[in-house]
């Protein structure tokens, strides 16, 4: 299957989850809405959890890894928070409806790629202390994003992104 078709299926899945909730999405419904055969789906995804994992990875890679070298890290942070905000119904549903895919861990691992890049660009060694910082900071950051989705009055994405930028500038003396 081409990457474009996989992304199409992922988009259909993401839209359906946002509209109806993760628990109300089935592989049969995704196949029908995507216009694909059962065999095509199962040649590329084991089940809807595998599709969920692919969807989150592709969204994060699109926001983070594909922009490293093109945008400054502050811009990428804003882009990540904007993407979470745009897809808040999707993220809320998959976070609270299932445990098979580690949503926080997946998002955090992609943010870690960016932080590692920042640390190396600043000329610091990516030693064990740096690895511990990145792991802890990224998990905290991701939980902050998720927590904000469930607040009665969530902060705007740019407010949280600014706080993250400030925290990184302070911590890394940038």
Residue 140 lies in a domain: yes
Residue 32 lies in a domain: no
User: How many CB atoms neighbour CB 126 within 10 A?
Assistant: 14
Q: What is the pLDDT of residues 7-37, one digit of tens each?
A: 999 999 999 999 999 999 999 999 999 999 9
Residue 116 lies in a domain: yes
Q: What is the pLDDT of residues 95-110, one digit of tens each?
A: 999 999 999 999 999 9
The dihedral built from the CA positions of residue 71, 137, 82 and 48, taken in this order, carries a sign that is positive
Direct distance between the N- and C-terminal alpha carbons of the chain, in angstroms, rounded to an integer:
44
Over residues 56-63, mean pLDDT: 97
Q: Is the pLDDT of residue 1 over 80?
A: no
Spatial separation of the C-alpha atoms in residues 19 and 35, rounded to whole Å: 19
| Residue span of the structural domain in which 99 resides | 48-172
Find, among 56, 57, 82, the residue nearest to 71 by Cα: 82
Confidence at residue 11, expressed as pLDDT on a 0 to 100 scale = 97
Question: Is the CB of residue 117 less than 8 Å from the CB of residue 73?
Answer: yes
* Structure-token match 């994992």, residue found: 53
Question: Is the CB of residue 110 less than 8 Å from the CB of residue 65?
Answer: yes
Distance of CA 33 to the CA centre of its chain: 23
Confidence at residue 174, expressed as pLDDT on a 0 to 100 scale = 66
Q: What is the pLDDT of residues 75-92, one digit of tens each?
A: 999 999 999 999 999 999
Look at the chain and report how many structural domains it folds into: 1
CA atoms within 13 A on the CB side of 3: 1
Residue 28 lies in a domain: no
Find, among 23, 19, 164, the residue nearest to 80 by Cα: 164
DSSP state of 154: P
* Structure-token match 């811009």, residue found: 75
Show the 3-state SS of 63-108: HCHHHECCECHHHHHHHHHHHHHHCHHHHHHHHHHCCCCCHHHHHH
């Amino acid at each position: 299957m081409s990457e474009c078709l996989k992304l199409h299926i992922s988009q259909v899945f993401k839209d359906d989850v946002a509209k109806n909730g993760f628990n109300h999405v089935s592989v049969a419904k995704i196949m029908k809405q995507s216009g694909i055969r059962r065999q095509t789906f199962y040649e590329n995804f084991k089940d809807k959890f595998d599709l969920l994992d692919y969807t989150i990875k592709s969204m994060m890679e699109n926001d983070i890894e594909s922009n490293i070298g093109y945008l400054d890290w502050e811009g990428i942070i804003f882009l990540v928070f904007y993407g979470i905000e745009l897809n808040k119904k999707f993220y809320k549903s998959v976070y609270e409806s299932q445990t098979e895919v580690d949503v926080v861990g997946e998002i955090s691992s992609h943010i870690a790629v960016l932080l590692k890049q920042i640390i190396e660009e600043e000329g610091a060694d990516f030693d064990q202390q740096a690895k511990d910082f990145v792991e802890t900071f990224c998990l905290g950051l991701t939980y902050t994003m998720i927590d904000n989705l469930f607040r009665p009055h969530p902060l705007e994405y740019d407010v949280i992104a600014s706080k993250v930028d400030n925290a990184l500038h302070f911590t890394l003396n940038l």
